[in-house]
Chain A
């Protein structure tokens, strides 16, 4: 089953990459751009018959490895 994991940095954690990109956009003449954040998406194929089973597996993977609970939140999308 196709699974997409969206990993986002918590709003209270600084994102130096987002800040740099925001500054670059401003330098290019784009006005009114704010709140730029760079996140990460992981695409997986996970074996399993039931959506809930696959979802649970993916959540476990996030908790163990894919996301860092100190910095990040995650969202699992199956299908």
Chain B
């Protein structure tokens, strides 16, 4: 079971993400955004950062990188696709997840641990978690305020407090099938005791186990 960790120009969380995935036993490899063949992979993760400088809108330019054609194919085939922070923004711009992410309500870059509650376990990200479970994970974003006028989003994780004004206090959402998920906090930054929390592993384990079942 191989998972592609996609690197755009400006991505900066790929090494943390790949380390966290490998620590949990996943066969994960970095893939440059110009790659146009992901047939060797069973799933994809779009890590955090500032793809293409976040110019125009976060994720707006990244969604046209060649690799996104393959990510879109995988999403359509029901394979697990996960976007973390900037990766989440890219998935909304690509139309693989509903809504969009706008500037935080208080116009501050938020950089702190937040508590999120699992509200739906029917997604690749929450498959190993339990409804009501609370996780302690760092949030590091300026455009983390998720809005969805269509109300089509399936909320899978909700902030316990309301750090950024996101609609329905959404910290993570999924598509209706549950195989595409986006999360604004960083599970890979809560994956080892030395980081202050290992709660992110519950989410990453769910994602890794979904790679097997999607085959």
- A: which residues have CB within 8 A of B? 10, 12-14, 16-17, 20, 65-66, 68, 70-71
10 A/B residue pairs, CB under 8 Å, sorted by A: A14-B105, A14-B147, A16-B106, A65-B56, A65-B64, A68-B57, A68-B93, A70-B98, A70-B100, A70-B148
CB B116 to nearest CB in A, in angstroms, measures 21
Nearest chain-A residue to B148 (Cβ)? A70
Q: Which residues of B contact A (CB under 8 A)?
A: 56-57, 60-61, 64, 92-93, 98-100, 102-107, 145, 147-150, 165
Contacts of A17 in B (CB 8 A): 103, 107
Q: Which residues of chain B are near A68, meaning CB under 8 Å?
A: 57, 60, 93, 100
What residues of A have a CB within 8 angstroms of the CB of B61 in the complex? 65
The SS class assigned to the A binding surface is loop
Q: 7 closest pairs, A vs B, by CB?
A: A70-B100, A16-B103, A71-B100, A20-B107, A16-B107, A16-B105, A68-B100
Tell me whether A70 and B103 are in contact in the complex, defined as CB-CB below 8 angstroms, given that A65-B60, A65-B64 are known contacts: no
Nearest B residue (CB) for A10: B149
Take A66-B56, A68-B93 as given contacts and tell me if A14 and B165 are in contact as well, using a CB distance cutoff of 8 Å: yes
Given A65-B56, A65-B60, A65-B64, A13-B147 contact (CB < 8 Å): yes
Measured CB to CB, the nearest residue on chain A to B103 is A16
B148 proximity list for chain A (CB < 8 A): 70
Residues of A within 8 A of B99 (CB): 70
Q: Which residues of B contact A13 (CB under 8 A)?
A: 102, 147, 149
A26 to chain B, nearest CB (A): 16
Asked whether A71 lies within 8 Å of B107 as measured between CB atoms, the reply is no
Residues from chain A with Cβ under 8 Å of B147 in the complex: 13-14, 70-71
* Cα distance, A14 to B64, chains bound together (Å): 27
User: Nearest residue in A to B105 (C-beta to C-beta)?
Assistant: A16
